[in-house]
Amino acid sequence: MTKRMWAAADGKLEIEGKRGSFDIAYGNASELQKLDIWLPDTEQEKVPFIFIIHGGGFMALDKRDCEMAHAIKETIKRGFAAVSLNYRMTQEVKFPEPIRDIKQAIRFIKKHGAEYQLDTEKMMVWGGSAGGYLTLMAALFNNEAYFDNPDDENADVQFKIDGAIAWYPITEFATLDHQLQTNSLINKYLRKEIKDQHECYVNAMPESEENAFPYHASLDSAGSILLGENCCVDNELTRKASPIYYIKSDMPRIYIQHGSGDEIVPMQQSIDFALKANELCGEERVICEIVPDAIHGSMLFETADNYDKLFAFIHAIMD
């Protein structure tokens, strides 16, 4: 029996001496409605860029925390700008406000990006965990008026997302605990050892055993706090909040990576999303890669080989 684990998010990116513009307000409803623009060392007048959305269970972390810091640094190193976003969290708001903030930030950059040396002709989004969920919503919601912020000064700005990378995202709230229970039973009989180990891994919060349920279905889970009710009930609200119900034939290309050892968000979330999307689109519009043994936030996602793979996908869309 083991505890549910994830990677600790210690440390922050420093902005002193870095190229870019920082703490730019894209809205005025909250101090959290700000973004950073990290520029690579380039002479280009217009720099291609990627939106990067942090995770943290919709209640923690920041656009400069180390949870997505490696992705930001790799993005800059490989010649792209990174636009890292903060958004209102569940201490302030409930669903759908964090998603509305992401949409407002995208519109802000679409309109004003050229002022910050950004090439807004093509746009991609990348995030992990809660940020992976928000990434999928960003890739799918451009025509959904429900996700417009009422005070968005750029509400008339049209945009589309050309591609997305999502790490271990929630795609359907109602099925989370059932899938975790399935995996727990499989692990009880088939798992010989925990192979994904690293010094930065800590017990997930709230602390619980991997076979303890309810997990997401409890009212103090991140998803239930976001929705304001039990997130594992199949109803109008949980469907409204689930990316899998926004799949459409003109959706952008998406690369999802998920760990088979994830005891926070089960890998079936990504598998089911990809299967449904690819069936509807009649092609592999969504790449779903299962990383063997990887836990939630695993360092296996941060290897040089994996970044090479992801940036090959990025170049195929952005070049």
CA distance 3 to 56: 18
Strands 49-53 and 34-38: unpaired
Question: What is the per-residue pLDDT for 109?
Answer: 99
Provide CB contacts within 8 A for 302, sequence distance 6+: 70
CA distance 290 to 273: 13
Residue 310 has pLDDT above 90, yes or no: yes
When computed from its CA atoms, the radius of gyration of the chain, rounded to whole angstroms, is: 19
| pLDDT-above-90 percentage for the chain | 88
| Beta sheet of 49-53, edge-to-edge order | 20-25, 34-38, 81-85, 49-53, 124-128, 163-167, 253-259, 286-291
Question: What is the per-residue pLDDT for 210?
Answer: 84
| pLDDT-above-70 percentage for the chain | 99
Q: What is the pLDDT of residues 111-146, one digit of tens each?
A: 999 999 999 999 999 999 999 999 999 999 978 899
Residue 1 has pLDDT above 50, yes or no: no
Superfamily of domain 9-172+249-318 in the CATH hierarchy: Alpha/Beta hydrolase fold, catalytic domain (3.40.50.1820)
What are the C-alpha distances in Å from 120 to residues 109, 164, 166, 253, 289? Answer: 8, 15, 21, 18, 28
Residue 220 has pLDDT above 70, yes or no: yes
Q: What is the pLDDT of residues 21-34, one digit of tens each?
A: 999 999 999 999 99
Backbone region of residue 306 per phi and psi (left: phi > 0; alpha: psi in -120 to 50; beta: other values): alpha
Question: Mean pLDDT in the chain?
Answer: 96
Query: What are the boundaries of each domain within the chain?
Result: 9-172+249-318
